[in-house]
Amino acid sequence: MTESVDDPSLRDAHSATAGALAAIGTGVYLVDDKGCIIAVNARAEQLLGRPAEDLVGRDAHDLLHRDAHGQPLPTSRCRMRQSFHAGRTAQAEGDWFARGDGSLLPVAWLITPYDLGDDEVGTLVLFHAPHHLAATGSWPEQAAAPLPELERLALLAETTTQLTSTLDVDEALRRLVALVVPRLADWVVIDLITERDEVWRTAVVHAEGDTLVHREDLQGPMPPVPAESPMPLSRALRGVASTLAGPQTYQRPPDSGIALEQRRLFEATGIRSAAIAPIRSTREVLGALTLGRADRAGDFTTADIPLIEDIARRAAVALDNARLYQRQRKVAETMQNHLLPQLPRVPGLEMVARYMPAPDASQVGGDWYDAFCLSDRATALAVGDVVGHDLEAAAGMAQVRNMLRAYAWSQKEPPSRIVDRLDEAVMHIADVTMATMIFARLEQAEDGHWQLSWTNAGHPPPLLISQDGLAHYLTDGHGVLLGTGAGKPRPDATALLPPGSTLLLYTDGLIEAPGHSLDEGLNRLRQHAAALAHRPLASFTDQLLHRVRPAENDDDVALLALRTPGVQPR
């Protein structure tokens, strides 16, 4: 006992308890009704490698109880804790206590209620270790037992779910790190082979309790993979085999630059046991996964290799899919950027356009804008959205835009008639199932004012913002979208644009968001556009996208803004 009391009767009681514990030949400690240790004998101190002052007053479960991998044991899985709360005598074997040096002590135990006096009841815990360890007093470094089959299957299922639910390489790597540390190791190292066949040490992460610490000083470019090296990481990066390794593996003279970097890694991290597995898809080797143990009890053994290989294979599938997706996205974005036009220079008018791909999903779609000069010196304006979010939608957008340009240039007709012709062509010769759009003509009247005439094929209405911040939607000229075959004549609408006013054409990705109505999006756009009316047009457009585009938006956005000249001061 470590407590001191002034009352002689209490002192005698504590002395009697301490004497009783000392007389027991195995390790024993006594806990109060909250599970805190109040007394311990010398044998328990020896077995646990902890002095009494480090034990008394501590919660026994939190301090001592561990699973076979050295991780804190949830109370729901602790047989001793369950019996303690039930207040009954119980015994078991095959459990683990944490020793003061971080190693694990395999124990068999017995607990029983113990009368502390004054109507207080505690619990007496007796435990012992295997005889060969107890007799020698030595505690060799233990090899942690492989995960039980159910835990292994649960981890693999979680790995599959987590890694295959993202198509972002960085996010997949973050999830992989969180899955394996500290569950399997306290260090994780991920080396990836880039598309240029270079090796990059992408992640070196250490688990410090529940915190993941990234060692950026150990990350970065690596030397090339040697063709014949027998060293573990080199073999893994060639897709040859999974291997166990330790600091001693790299003590010999290095046979390559990678071997030298591995020596530096072991020295810097203190990893004493590592398992290295290739990250290999069905098409190619993508890199290598290294799990390391420095502070965690137990070394990796060959029994751990199949699980780590399974995790690496699942990581390979996810990374391969993410890379293929990023390549497709890059091709699609490049195609989209080349398809979207340069804006014409129209004397007296300012014009700005923006296209933003979706943050997720296919990253490209059928949203588009266009502006071009007509043969009668009017300016054509268009914005539209072809249904879909893939390369086919982008290709369909190009077809619609090019046909619109041809009809608008060759046919001296109102916007409604041009779109009628386009609609008929789309249904017969284009690979487009459905699309929305606004097509408009902008021309300067004899008195110098700018007049807009337009037709709307199922698209969100244009927004007109005056120089003094009054904003309203141009809701006239609204007809059915393209591709329906409705055959109804489309309406035209006309409006004068006040001096210094801003006209905004946009696609629905700017205003639509899951869980919110279209009216909410339109009101948000009108409010922010009015507030930004005084900004230069480029700043107006960029700030509008930043403020209005919903954070949860999974659609692309096309936006075309123009501003008429302001009133000249006299």
d(CA 322, CA 459): 33
- Nearest residue to 156 (alpha-carbon basis) of 320, 318, 322: 318
Whether 254 and 290 share a structural domain: yes
- Give strand pairing partners of 189: 204, 290
3-class state of residue 344 by DSSP = coil
* Average pLDDT rounded to a whole number, residues 244-256: 88
Residue 197 within a domain = yes
- Residue 22 pLDDT class (50, 70, 90 cuts): confident
Assess whether the previous peptide bond of 247 is cis (omega < 30° from 0). no
Residue 568 within a domain = no
Sheet hosting strand 65-66, strand order edge to edge: 37-40, 27-31, 120-128, 104-117, 90-98, 65-66
Domain stop point among 97, 113, 136: 136
CATH number at residue 367: 3.60.40.10
pLDDT of 4 above 50:
no
Domain stop point among 271, 293, 328: 328
In tens, the pLDDT along 495-514 reads 999 999 999 999 999 998 88
Token digits of residue 424: 């008929």
Angle, vertex CA 136, rays to CA 131 and CA 141, nearest 5: 90
Domain stop point among 307, 328, 349: 328
Least confident of 122-126, 131-135, 325-329, 523-527: 131-135
pLDDT of 40 above 80:
yes
Whether 543 and 514 share a structural domain: yes
- Nearest residue to 28 (alpha-carbon basis) of 101, 142, 114: 114
Token digits of residue 256: 């390559």
Is this structure's pTM higher than 0.85? no
Listed in sequence order, the residues at least 6 apart from 282 whose beta carbon sits closer than 8 Å to its beta carbon are: 320
Whether 14 and 85 share a structural domain: yes
- The greatest distance separating any two alpha carbons of the chain, rounded to the nearest whole angstrom, comes to 113
Listed in sequence order, the residues at least 6 apart from 499 whose beta carbon sits closer than 8 Å to its beta carbon are: 449, 467, 564, 565, 566, 567
Whether 117 and 186 share a structural domain: no
Positive or negative: CA dihedral 405, 408, 414, 418: negative
CATH number at residue 125: 3.30.450.20
Q: What percent of the chain lies above the pLDDT cut of 70? A: 87
Whether 65 and 176 share a structural domain: no
Whether 366 and 275 share a structural domain: no
Whether 191 and 51 share a structural domain: no
Token digits of residue 146: 């492989």
Whether 288 and 344 share a structural domain: no
Residue 543 within a domain = yes
* Average pLDDT rounded to a whole number, residues 448-475: 95
Using the structure block, give the residue that is written with the tokens 């337009």: 454
Q: Are 186 and 293 in contact (CB under 8 A)?
A: yes
Residue 26 within a domain = yes
d(CA 398, CA 401): 5
Burial of 519 (0-12, 13-18, 19+ CB in 10 A): exposed
pLDDT of 387 above 80:
no
Residue 141 within a domain = no
pLDDT of 257 above 90:
yes
Using the structure block, give the residue that is written with the tokens 């015994």: 91
d(CA 458, CA 461): 9
Residue 121 within a domain = yes
Q: Would you report the helix, strand and coil content of the chain in percent, each value rounded to 5?
A: 35, 30, 35
Q: What pLDDT does residue 11 have?
A: 43
d(CA 307, CA 312): 9
Q: What pLDDT does residue 362 have?
A: 47
Residue 424 within a domain = yes
- Nearest residue to 28 (alpha-carbon basis) of 122, 125, 104: 125
Q: DSSP states of 75-124 as a string?
A: GGG-HHHHHHHHT--EEEEEEEEE-TTS-EEEEEEEEEEEEEETTEEEEE
Q: Are 496 and 449 in contact (CB under 8 A)?
A: yes
Whether 288 and 362 share a structural domain: no
Residue 570 within a domain = no
In Å, what is the CA distance from 429 to each residue of 116, 413, 490? 92, 22, 21
In Å, what is the CA distance from 30 to each residue of 26, 79, 128, 332? 13, 17, 15, 69
CATH number at residue 206: 3.30.450.40
d(CA 236, CA 229): 11
pLDDT of 391 above 70:
no
Whether 376 and 433 share a structural domain: yes
pLDDT of 115 above 90:
no
Whether 289 and 322 share a structural domain: yes
Residues in the chain: 570
Q: What pLDDT does residue 141 have?
A: 47
If one counts the domains in the chain, the total is: 3
Q: What pLDDT does residue 510 have?
A: 94
Burial of 438 (0-12, 13-18, 19+ CB in 10 A): buried
Listed in sequence order, the residues at least 6 apart from 407 whose beta carbon sits closer than 8 Å to its beta carbon are: 418, 421, 422, 425
Q: What pLDDT does residue 556 have?
A: 84
In tens, the pLDDT along 351-373 reads 999 988 776 544 556 788 999 99
pLDDT of 24 above 50:
yes
Sheet hosting strand 557-563, strand order edge to edge: 350-356, 557-563, 502-506, 463-465, 471-473
Burial of 321 (0-12, 13-18, 19+ CB in 10 A): middle
Taking all residues of the chain, what is their mean pLDDT, rounded to a whole number?
85
pLDDT of 174 above 60:
yes
Q: Are 223 and 181 in contact (CB under 8 A)?
A: no
- Domain that residue 294 falls in: 149-328
Which of 7-21, 333-347, 421-435 has maximum average pLDDT? 421-435
pLDDT of 554 above 50:
yes
d(CA 193, CA 27): 53
In tens, the pLDDT along 269-297 reads 999 999 999 999 888 999 999 999 998 87
- Nearest residue to 301 (alpha-carbon basis) of 311, 291, 288, 313: 291
Whether 368 and 491 share a structural domain: yes
- Residue 136 pLDDT class (50, 70, 90 cuts): very low
Q: What pLDDT does residue 157 have?
A: 84
Q: What pLDDT does residue 108 have?
A: 87
Q: Are 192 and 202 in contact (CB under 8 A)?
A: yes
From the centroid of its chain, how far is CA 337?
27
Q: What percent of the chain lies above the pLDDT cut of 90? A: 49
